[in-house]
Chains A and B, each alone.
Chain A
Amino acid sequence: MSSRRPTTVRPMAVAAVVVGGLLGGALVGCGNEDAAQPQTEAVADSDSATLEYVIPVGAGEALDAGTPLEILPGELEVNVGDTIRIENQDDRGHTVGPFFVGANETLTQRFSTPGEFEGVCTVHPSGQLVLVVNA
Chain B
Amino acid sequence: MAPERPRRLHRLRCIVGGALAGLGLAAAIATPAFADPPGPTDYLSEVRSVDPVTSAIEVGIIGGDSFFELRVESGTEAMVVGYQGEDYLWFRPDGVVLENQNSPAKYLNTDRYGVDGVPPTASADAPPSWEQIATGGYWAWHDHRAHWMLDIRPLGRSAGDQILEAVIPIVVDGDIVEVTVISTWQPEPSPVPMVLGALAGAGVAAGAWWLRGRRLSPLFATVALVLLALGVGLAQFLSLPSATEPRPVWFLLPVIAVVSASVGLGLSVRGQRFAADAALLLIGAELAIWGFVKRDGLSAAIIPTAAPYWLDRFATTAALTGGVLLAAMALWWLFAVPVSSPTGEGHRDSDGGVSGSREPSGSPRPAHP
Using a CB–CB cutoff of 8 Å, the interface residues on chain A facing chain B are: 1, 4, 7-8, 11-12, 14-16, 18-19, 22-23, 26-27, 29-31, 33-34, 37-40, 42, 60, 63-68, 92-95, 98-100, 102-103, 107, 109, 117, 119-123, 127, 129
Contacts and interface: CB of A to CB of B under 8 A. Distances in A.
Given A18-B324, A26-B320, A120 B165 contact: no
Contact of B324 (A22, A120, A123): A22
Contacts of B154: 98-100
B157 A100 contact: yes
Contacts of B85: 65-67
Given A40-B156, A102-B162, A117-B152, A18 B328 contact: yes
Contact of A122 (B114, B194, B288): B114
20 contacts: A7-B336, A7-B340, A8-B343, A19-B325, A22-B292, A27-B194, A30-B295, A30-B298, A33-B151, A64-B81, A64-B178, A66-B85, A66-B124, A93-B165, A95-B149, A98-B150, A99-B155, A100-B161, A120-B150, A121-B149
How big is chain B's contact interface, by range? 35 or more
Contact of A40 (B155, B209, B332, B343): B155
B152 A11 contact: no
A50 to B, nearest CB: 15
B295 A66 contact: no
Interface of B: 40, 81-86, 108, 113-115, 118, 124, 144-145, 148-157, 161-167, 169, 178, 182, 194, 198, 202, 205, 209, 288, 291-292, 295-296, 298-300, 317, 320-321, 324-325, 328-329, 332, 336-337, 340, 342-344
Nearest to A19: B324
A92 to B, nearest CB: 6
B165 A23 contact: no
Given A7-B340, A92-B165, A38 B155 contact: yes
Contacts, number: 141
A98 B82 CA distance: 22
A39 B288 CA distance: 35
A92 B181 CA distance: 11
A33 B153 contact: yes
A39 B300 CA distance: 20
B344 A4 contact: yes
Contacts of B296: 30
B206 to A, nearest CB: 9
A102 B300 contact: no
B159 to A, nearest CB: 12
Contacts of B295: 26-27, 29-30
Contacts of A22: 288, 292, 320, 324
Contacts of A123: 83
A105 to B, nearest CB: 10
B100 to A, nearest CB: 13
A119 B340 contact: no
A18 to B, nearest CB: 5
A107 B329 contact: no
A94 B165 contact: yes
Given A4-B344, A15-B324, 8 more contacts: A8-B343, A14-B328, A15-B325, A15-B329, A30-B300, A93-B182, A117-B150, A120-B115
Contact of B167 (A68, A92, A103): A92
Contacts of B157: 100
Given A15-B329, A119-B149, A60 B298 contact: no
B167 A100 contact: no
Contact of B149 (A15, A66, A122): A122
A4 B344 CA distance: 7
A63 to B, nearest CB: 7
B114 A120 contact: yes
A29 B87 CA distance: 39
B86 A66 contact: yes
Q: Which of A4, A8, A65, A68 has the most CB of B within 10 A?
A: A8
Given A93-B162, A94-B165, A42 B151 contact: no
Contacts of B321: 19, 23
B155 A39 contact: yes
A12 B124 CA distance: 61
A95 B165 CA distance: 8
A127 B340 CA distance: 65
Contacts of B324: 15, 18-19, 22
Contacts of A117: 150, 152
